[in-house]
A and B are shown apart, each in its own frame.
Chain A
Amino acid sequence: MSTRNCFQQVLSEILKYSFLLIVIFITLVPFLWIVLSSMKTNQDIFGSPMSLPKKLTLMSYKLAFELAPITKYYLNSIVVTSVTTLTTILLTTMSGYVLSRFNFKLKNAIVIVFTSAILIPYFSLAQPLFYILNKINLIDTKSGLILVYSAFGLPVRLWIIRSYFLTIPKEIEESAYLDGATYTRTFIKIMLPLAKPGIATAATITFIDTWKEFFFALLLTSSDKARTLPVSLNYFVHFFSYNYSTMFAAMVVVTIPTIIFFILMQEQVVKSLASGAVKG
């Protein structure tokens, strides 16, 4: 009996680790292959796609930066993402606070409208949005993208921040008022610092979602002026046609910084997504 138990235990350990090995393999191999291939010459890529590069070369990176305005795309992405995150947080902390603390007419109606907006797949709104942005001349501008992303983000982020405010006991504010603090002062000096974890969650989710967004970036941009990184990949095929090593290099330049940023921030990201996505 005990030998059988022992055998079972060893077997389950082996199963466990081989399962994890497969998981790591499936996840990492594509990225490693891209990185390796980007350092090969084109002949190497065609001759033996699997082998290690015979001679490491960084030529393809130089070429990639020369052929495509990658820095410009990076800048666009960073501007759009950070302004969107700031706008969303500014709007949702203020409205979330009011909606969590004060009773007024139509308050419940407002909350219900925002909550039900979460259910609508925003994709389906593409056409009216295009139409509206076209009318007000915001097609192919960064402001247009920022406006759209901020609007779509609002319902979920508002929910996250509002539920966080709801967990903060009212007594804290009351004592602040007793000490003579004004309404604005209480909000800025007391409530905002207390709500930091909730705000961090909302900000992280907004940042990631905006950084990844592709559909609207494709639909609402038409030149390099406002194109973000995800859309730019779409045009690499034109820039580099069959120059595969350059394409690999461009791919690395686009993906690796995101991965590094994520690994540095992973504690925050994991925590935010675990608490935020369920609510969304």
Chain B
Amino acid sequence: MVIVTSFTEWTIVKSPQFIGINNYIFLIVESAPFGSAIFNTILWMLIAGTLHVIVGIAVAIVLERRPVGWKAIRTIYFIPNILPGITLAYIFTLLLNPEIGLVNSIIRFIGFKNFYQNWFGDTNTAFIAVTSIWLFYAGLLTILVMAEYESIPESLFESARIDGASSLQIDVFITLPMLRNIIGTCVIISMLAMLKEFAFIWATTKGGPGYSTYNLSLYLYKLSANYHNFGLANTIGTIQISIGITVFFLISKLFKIGKSFIS
């Protein structure tokens, strides 16, 4: 239904009418928010697939060395992932609030007395502010990587140690290649999550200022709920589905998911 109606003109006063690829042409040529929506979506997906995943893996590898209290730290690190995204987003609206927010107060406290930055309201910082809500909270990925880590045979590490490899060398040349499958999965999970992210943006900027934090999901919601332009909303849905499936197969291929490493 989504794909078929993406080729129709369908609004609240008009039943679906076939108009070919006009919806797609309208989005690309005329629609003002579409450019930034697709740009932001892809940029966020790239950040999620790289930086966000690296954070998750780094925490997992450090925790796997079993430092004091690693279990408690794992639990604490997972807390932001167990909460609804919207809660996190609201906490960050308060944290980054220009008057009462913690971040601005700290900056004022360390010397810049008249510092004032409206993080979510300024075109230059809004994108970074929205990114900061989720970038460091990779608890789910950490748990996935740690579970996979435990399935690596201990003998591999031992023989490497006997051959005189340092722990950094072991991490880079043994652990990471052995974790390839799960890392690929993590990249897919994070990228697809960002493809459909909505709550973070809705709760903080609603796409503004201007169109600087628009993404596809937000645009879809606005087209559907505010403008009742269902045909166009479904066009966005179709684009999302195609991006999602493309990313899935591309990353699976890139990481050779499902194929054994040793063979």
- A residues near B (Cβ < 8 Å) are 12, 16-17, 19-20, 23-24, 26-31, 33-34, 37, 45-46, 48-50, 119-128, 130-131, 208, 211-215, 218-219, 229-231, 233-234, 236, 244, 247-248, 251, 254-255, 258-259, 262-263, 266, 269-270, 273-275, 277-278
Q: Does B198 contact A (CB under 8 A)?
A: yes
Q: Do B87 and A230 have beta carbons less than 8 Å apart?
A: yes
Q: Do B90 and A120 have beta carbons less than 8 Å apart?
A: no
Q: How far is the CB of B246 from chain A (nearest CB, A)?
A: 11
Q: Do B78 and A124 have beta carbons less than 8 Å apart?
A: no
Q: How far is the CB of A234 from chain B (nearest CB, A)?
A: 7
Chain A residues with CB under 8 A of B53: none
Bound complex: CA A28 to CA B162 (Å): 40
Chain A residues with CB under 8 A of B13: none
Q: Does B125 contact A (CB under 8 A)?
A: no
State the majority secondary structure of interface residues on B: helix
Q: How far is the CB of B143 from chain A (nearest CB, A)?
A: 5
Bound complex: CA A12 to CA B65 (Å): 11
In order of increasing CB-CB distance, the 6 nearest A-B pairs are A124-B237, A274-B147, A230-B84, A123-B196, A212-B84, A49-B105
Given the known inter-chain contacts A126-B237, A130-B224, please indicate yes or no for A229 contacting B198, CB distance below 8 A: no
Q: Do A218 and B202 have beta carbons less than 8 Å apart?
A: yes
Q: How far is the CB of B185 from chain A (nearest CB, A)?
A: 6
Which residue of chain A is the closest to B198 with respect to CB atoms? A215
Bound complex: CA A23 to CA B78 (Å): 11
Q: Do A127 and B59 have beta carbons less than 8 Å apart?
A: no
Most A Cβ at <10 Å: residue of B91, B144, B146: B91
Q: Does B211 contact A (CB under 8 A)?
A: no
Bound complex: CA A20 to CA B67 (Å): 9
Q: Do A270 and B78 have beta carbons less than 8 Å apart?
A: yes
Q: Do B136 and A26 have beta carbons less than 8 Å apart?
A: yes
Q: Do B238 and A214 have beta carbons less than 8 Å apart?
A: no
Q: How far is the CB of A21 from chain B (nearest CB, A)?
A: 10
- B residues near A (Cβ < 8 Å) are 1-2, 5, 58-59, 62-63, 65, 67, 73-80, 82-87, 90-92, 94-95, 99-102, 105-106, 109, 136-137, 140, 143-144, 146-147, 167, 182, 185, 189, 192, 195-196, 198-199, 202-203, 217, 220-221, 224-225, 230, 233-234, 236-238, 240-241, 244-245, 248
Given the known inter-chain contacts A251-B90, A254-B87, please indicate yes or no for A127 contacting B82, CB distance below 8 A: no
In the complex, which of the residues B84, B85, B136, B137 contacts A229, with contact meaning CB atoms closer than 8 Å?
A: B84
Q: Do A233 and B90 have beta carbons less than 8 Å apart?
A: yes
Chain B residues with CB under 8 A of A230: 84-87, 199
Q: Do A127 and B230 have beta carbons less than 8 Å apart?
A: yes
Q: Do B244 and A120 have beta carbons less than 8 Å apart?
A: yes
Which residue of chain B is the closest to A12 with respect to CB atoms? B167
Q: Do A127 and B237 have beta carbons less than 8 Å apart?
A: yes
In the complex, which of the residues A27, A127, A215 contacts B234, with contact meaning CB atoms closer than 8 Å?
A: A127
Bound complex: CA A29 to CA B238 (Å): 40
Given the known inter-chain contacts A30-B95, A244-B100, A251-B91, please indicate yes or no for A127 contacting B224, CB distance below 8 A: yes
Q: Do B195 and A27 have beta carbons less than 8 Å apart?
A: no
A-B contact pairs, 16 of them (CB 8 A): A28-B76, A49-B100, A121-B195, A127-B220, A128-B5, A128-B234, A230-B86, A231-B86, A233-B84, A244-B94, A259-B79, A263-B75, A269-B78, A269-B82, A277-B144, A278-B144
Bound complex: CA A247 to CA B101 (Å): 13
Chain B residues with CB under 8 A of A119: 244-245, 248
Which residue of chain B is the closest to A128 with respect to CB atoms? B1
Q: Do B109 and A50 have beta carbons less than 8 Å apart?
A: yes
